[in-house]
Amino acid sequence: MSAPIALTSGDPSGVGLEIALSAWGALREKLPFFLIADVDYMRELAATSGQMVVQIATPDETTTAAKTGLPVLHCPFGERPKIGVEHPANATSTIASIDRAVAFAQSGAASAVCTLPINKKVLYDGAGFAYPGHTEYLAHLGGVDRSFMMLLAPELRVVPVTIHIALSAVQSALTPELLGATISATHHALQRDFGIKQPRLAIAGLNPHAGEGGAMGHDEIDMIRPTVDQLRSAGLDIAGPLPADTMFHPAAREKYDTAICMYHDQALIPLKTLNFSEGVNTTLGLPFIRTSPDHGTAFDIAGKGIADASSLIAALKCAGDMAQNRARYDAE
């Protein structure tokens, strides 16, 4: 990986910036990344824990700077953050950090983008943010109409077809077009970004026991199975629709590389049960690589010195691996 990873500031009042310092302490020269944030504030924050910050002017200074401290590319905050308190005045700088990280990734100056958690209400109140969240805004910056969420840990990868909608809305939101696009995007990402030449996909049913032949619902018969059969006939290695309650034990997980689930909790409950601390969120379908720790701003524990950086460290490592795999795939 020739270029470093760009790490956004997230909400500076949450745990993001303190775990960024912890991640530098853990990774240092092993995996080059730089933070886009207010360098003066980061120096104050680093001093409280005996760590160092080095200001950089361009991403290509990252590797040298990382030997001494966390490389920070200056992006001034609107006001000095108070830990655990919402600061709408910092909304614009949070968005600017995302914009700059994406611009670096698109130009090749960064190999990937890793995003620290944001507070959506702060962005709505402070900047009139017009997007439901990170993923939709990144899709806008990337110029794509649709992107897909993958959550992963060493034990499991999952992709939910529908995401942040009410359970009562899932059935109507599931369409052959959406399911087919999700399966195809996942298959391609596993090849390009994860180095799996022949991905194996497992598709969960929507209903208990995958509908049990129509006794518990017809979604599998009417929509899911025909879509899966069509893609299987095109050469994809797909199993399903399968009963979701038997997909996630160890022997079942050995048979597939990624599970595609019909709704949010069907995907995230098994992942977070298996490995809560090292979960990574990555967005498929973007023209650049994006990962994120799989947790929020955690205002309640910010500044207490107890925030766990494991998920961020995993997200940075995942971004580095994806960048290497994508470069290799594109070269071939």
Residues at the binding site for a divalent metal cation are: 164, 209, 264
- Please report, in range form, the residues annotated as the binding site: 134-135, 164, 209, 264, 272, 281, 290
237-242, strands of its sheet edge to edge: 53-56, 70-74, 33-37, 5-8, 112-114, 290-293, 280-284, 148-153, 156-160, 258-261, 200-204, 237-242
For residue 263, give Cα distances in angstroms to 32, 149, 305.
Answer: 35, 11, 35
Tell the residue number behind the tokens 């968005």, with chain if given. 95
Q: From the centroid of its chain, how far is CA 159?
A: 11
SS3 content of the chain, % helix, strand, coil (to 5): 45, 15, 40
CA distances in angstroms from 282 to 149, 186, 317, 330, listed in the order given: 6, 11, 12, 19
What residues form the annotated binding site for substrate? 134-135, 272, 281, 290
Contacts of 83 by beta carbon, 8 Å cutoff, 6+ apart = 13, 302, 303
Type and span of the H or E element at 219: helix 219-219
> How far apart are the C-alpha atoms of 118 and 136, rounded to whole Å?
13
Tokens of 28: 């240092």
d(C-alpha 83, C-alpha 17), whole Å: 10
Q: Assign 72 to helix, strand or coil.
A: strand
User: Left, alpha or beta for 80 (phi > 0: left; psi -120 to 50: alpha)?
Assistant: beta
